[in-house]
Amino acid sequence: MNFWKKLNKPILALAPMADVTDPAFRFIIAKYSKYEGSDVGQYGNKNTNKYQKFTPHPHLEVKLPSGGLGIPTGGPDVMWTEFISADGLALAPEKGRKKLLKDLEFTEIERPIVAQFFTSKPKMMEKAGRLAYELGFDGVDINMGCPDKSIEKQGSGAALIKNPALARELISAAKSGAKGLPVSVKTRIGYGKNEMEEWIPELIKENPAAIIVHARTRKEMSKTPARWESIKTAVRIRNELKSETLILGNGDVLSIEDAYSKIKDSGCDGAMLGRAIFGNPFLFRNKNVLSKIEGPYIPTVKEKLSVLVEHTTLFEKILGDIKNFSVMKKHYKAYVSGFEGAVGLRAKLMETNSAGEVKKIVEEYLQTVDNY
């Protein structure tokens, strides 16, 4: 059941980001990066029996393309959900739990996909691991790097770096609940200072399938350049301990080419990309860029704006009842830049409140330009 062992190296992963890697954006990324925009089906109406479910969610059903799914030609090699509160899943009232479960929706084209949870309670982590198994996820990840103060107050996220014993208990609990699914950890190089020599061996004692290391301390947040030499240290420690745990680096990875360069320099098994995906769901289409004579794929303005509309429409359709429309606007800043008229178009889009408004504005813009 360990999908990690089947992945070709170097591995390229999509980072978990709150209010970014939601079900709508993951679907768009998979469609335009993994399947290069080909027909991968669409979200459908659960009352139409020709729609096939991919996960146990009764409300998530996807219409398959008539010819079935093709073979993915791009990446990412593995996707993450947004991070989800394990405590909330177990203890929240029905309305709150329903919202959290919505964040755990996924479709077949996103596989392999990992559900990420945060908690400081082993029992809650065990329950979350069991839920991930029941929902059909390919793996479970424990967040041990989030610097958010509200998360740390619970003893979760980056606070676990200061509590290795509890961190190990959580890994063990996740394994117990996940019934054989691989368990990974996403963390940082330390809390207030670089603590790799002490921290990484503690995690490896529990034999996680992978450790994803953000190359900054909790104190540094994202305010200083990522220190990728620390990833090389993690690899050395892993090798000295003769562990099979995979090491992936994270932090300031600007492109696929940059990812490959950092992987080569550090000797790690792969890289996780986060902010580079904003406004660029085509990013992982360049997974094989080093073997392509023509270089990286660069979408036209029309392509980007067409996907922006599709992304917005899907967000409104599947998340509009639980998330504020303003969540989409962080994407507009990235989608709409670097071309003539972008500033004015972006300003108009930032005033919208529905997918219909967005579509109308984009269509009007495209009618005013000759080459896009």
The answer to whether the annotation marks 275 as part of a ligand binding site is yes
Tell me the pLDDT tens digit for each residue of 194-205: 999 999 999 999
Is the pLDDT assigned to residue 314 strictly greater than 80? Answer: yes
Confidence band, pLDDT 50/70/90 cuts, at residue 55: very low
Residue 272, token pair as written in the block: 């996780």
- Provide the strand spans (E) within 8-162: 11-14, 42-43, 52-53, 61-63, 79-85, 113-118, 139-144
DSSP result, 176-202: HHHTT--EEEEEEEESSS--HHHHHHH
Binned at pLDDT 50, 70 and 90, residue 43 comes out as low
Closest-CA residue to 63 (of 53, 72, 73): 53
Q: What is the DSSP letter of 222?
A: T
1 CB-near residues (< 8 Å, 6+ apart) = 180, 181, 182
Distance in angstroms between the alpha carbons of the first and the last residue of the chain? 45
Tell whether residue 214 is among the known ligand binding residues.
yes
- pLDDT of the residue at 2: 95
The predicted pLDDT at position 297 comes to 85
Q: Which H or E element spans position 211? A: strand 210-217
Which amino acid appears at position 6 of this protein? K
Tokens of 220: 């540094």
Residue of 154, 227, 216 lying closest to 191 (CA atoms): 216
User: Where residue 8 falls among pLDDT bands split at 50, 70, 90?
Assistant: very high
Can you say whether the dihedral through the CA atoms of 225, 229, 231, 233 is positive or negative?
negative
| Positions marked active-site | 146
| C-beta atoms surrounding 326 within 10 Å | 11
Pairing status of strand 42-43 against strand 61-63: antiparallel
Cβ atoms of residues 51 and 62 within 8 Å: yes
CA dist., res. 161 & res. 59, Å (int) = 37
pLDDT of residue 53: 36
Query: How many Å apart are CA 259 and CA 14, to the nearest integer?
Result: 12
Question: Is 116 annotated among the ligand-binding residues?
Answer: yes
Strand partners, 179: none
pLDDT band at 96 (very low <50, low <70, confident <90, very high): confident
What's the pTM value of the predicted model, to 2 decimals?
Answer: 0.91
8 Å CB contact between 372 and 302: yes
For residue 370, the model assigns a pLDDT of: 63
Task: State residue 40's pLDDT score.
Answer: 76
pLDDT for residue 45 is more than 70: no
In this predicted structure, what is the pLDDT of residue 372? 58
Give the CA angle between residues 334, 335, 337 to the nearest 5°: 70
pLDDT score at 74: 84
Confidence band (pLDDT; 50, 70, 90) for 64?
very low
The string of pLDDT tens digits covering residues 256-311 is 999 999 999 999 999 999 999 998 999 999 888 766 656 788 899 999 999 999 99
Instruction: Work out whether strand 52-53 and strand 79-85 pair parallel, antiparallel, or are unpaired.
Output: unpaired
In this structure, which amino acid lies at residue 119? Answer: T
Give the residues across from 249 on adjacent strands: 213, 271
User: pLDDT per residue over 121-133, tens digit each?
Assistant: 999 999 999 999 9
Mapping DSSP to helix (H, G, I), strand (E, B) and coil, where does residue 347 land?
Answer: helix
| Percent of the chain residues topping a pLDDT of 90 | 78
